[in-house]
A and B are shown apart, each in its own frame.
Chain A
Amino acid sequence: MKPGPLYQRDRQWHPPALTPDYKTSVSRSPQYSMISLETTVSEITGPVFGHNDIDPIDKDLLSNYAKPGESPIGERIILHGRVLDENARPIPNTLVEIWQANAGGRYRHKKDTYLAPIDPNFGGCGRTISDADGYYHFRTVKPGAYPWRNWVNNWRPAHIHMSIFGTAFAQRLITQCYFEGDPLIAKCPIVNSIPDPQAVEQLTARLDLNATIPLDTIAYKFDIVVRGRRSILFENRPEGN
C-alpha cells in the first residue's frame, strides 16, 4: 500500500469564487468552469522546509519585533494546535506562517492607513514548522477588530491569517482563524462567503484553559486539516487512467 492521489477537494465546503456580498470577489472570480484534474506528480509533490530556513524566535510574535525589554500592547495569547490530514494523521515538518493586525486592529503594511496606531513592538508575522506529531504553537497578542471598505460600515472580526503547505502543492492553503464568542463573526461578508455554518465553526478557535500559562498568557486551540490522500489498494490500471 502506498500513498496515491489526494482526495477530491470538497468545493461545497470551501467558499465559491463568486460571493457578491464580498464585493472584491465580483471582478476577481473566474467565470468558466475549472478543469478537473486528478493529481499528478506535479501536485502530490511540494516544497520541503527545514529548520535552516527559519529561526526559533520567528514563532514568538511577542518578541520577534520588540525592542529589548519591551513587548507589544494587547492580550497575550498562545495559538496552538495540530496540522492533520483528512485521515486524522498528523502532518509533521510542515511550514505554518501567520500574519495579523495588532491589538488595535492596525496592520504593519505600507498600504494600511487605518487610524489606529502602529505598535512599535509588534511586527505581526510569525512562522514555525510542525513537530513530529504535527503540533505547532505561536505566542502573540490577540488582534483587534478593524473597519474595511465593503459596505459602508463593515468590521472584520478579530482574526489571524494562516498559510499552510502540507506535503503536496495541491494541499496548499490560506485561511483565517477566528476566536470563539466574537459577535462580528456572524456579520462578516468574508466569513459568510463560506456556505456551511459547520465550516465556519471549523475556523473558530476555542479558548483552551488547559494550555494557558497561569498569570501570564491565555490560550486558544486551532487545528488545521489539509487534504488527505488515497491509499492505492488495488492497481487495476497500472498503465494509466
Chain B
Amino acid sequence: MRQELNYLKETPSQTAGPYVHIGLAPGAAGFDIYRQELGWDIAGPNARGERIRVEGCVIDGMGSPIKDVLLEAWQANAEGIYAHPEHDGEVEEGFRGWGRVITDFDTGEWGFDTVKPGPVTNADGRVMAPHISLWIVARGINVGLQTRLYFEDEADANAADPVIGLIEWERRRQTLIARRSERDGKPVYRFDIKLQGQDETVFFDI
C-alpha cells in the first residue's frame, strides 16, 4: 500500500457574480454599512514618487465595456518595495499598495490614483520593470484573471523585463503597456483590458 500525500486541494473558484459590490464595495451597491471600506487609497498621503492616474475599461468579446467588473491592484512603492513582511525594506507610513477598483455602472469606465511603482528585484536577482499586478473578477469570469500593467515611458526596462520576455509575440506584449498622456498637468495612463479578440490582453497562469 502506497503512502498518502495528504495535501489538501485548493478551494475551487466560482464567479464573483453581478452583486460583488455588496461584499467588497457596499457603497456602490447602494448602502452604507462599514466604518470604512477597504482599498480606496492605494498609496496613502506620504508616498514618495510620481503621482499618477490609471484609467481603462474591461471589454468583452462583443466589444462592449463590462459594467459589473471589479479589479484589485497590487504594487510596490516608488522604491520597488512591497508593503509585506516577506519583502525587505520599509514603505512609507500609510502605503499599502493595494486597491479595489469598480466601474461607473453606466459606462464601464474605471480609474484609480496612485504613485508610479519602481522597478522590483525578484528573489533570483533579476529586475522587473515597474508594473502593477491586476486581478479581475466579474459575472461570467469563473476564475479571477491575473495580468500586469506596464508603463509606456519605461521602454528600456520593459524590453529587459523577464516576465514580458516570456511572451513570444510582440503584438501580445503590447497589450500589457499602458499609454501615457497628461491631463491638467498630471500623468494619466490608459489601460484597456480585452477579454477576447486579436488584441486579447495577456493573462497569466501564476
Contacts and interface: CB of A to CB of B under 8 A. Distances in A.
A41 B22 contact: no
Interface in A85-128: 85-88, 95, 97-100, 107-112, 123-125, 127
A112 B20 CA distance: 12
A111 B74 contact: no
Interface stretch (B48-56, B107-115, B133-141, B180-188): B133-141
A193 B120 CA distance: 37
A26 B66 CA distance: 13
Chain B contact residues, majority secondary structure: loop
A14 B124 contact: no
Interface stretch (A69-77, A168-176, A212-220): A168-176
B34 A54 contact: yes
A125 B22 contact: yes
Contacts of A27: 60-62, 140, 195-196
Interface string B117-146: 000111111101001010101111111111
Given A34-B203, A86-B10, A123-B33, A47 B131 contact: no
Nearest to A16: B142
Interface of A: 3, 6, 9-11, 13-17, 19, 22, 24-32, 34-37, 39-49, 53-55, 58, 64-65, 84-88, 95, 97-100, 107-112, 123-125, 127, 161, 163-164, 169-170, 172-176, 190-191, 193-194, 198-200, 202-203, 224-228, 238-241
Interface of B: 6-24, 26, 29-31, 33-36, 38, 60-62, 66, 68, 72, 74, 76, 82-87, 96-98, 105, 120-126, 128, 131, 133, 135, 137-146, 148, 163, 166-167, 172, 195-196, 200-206
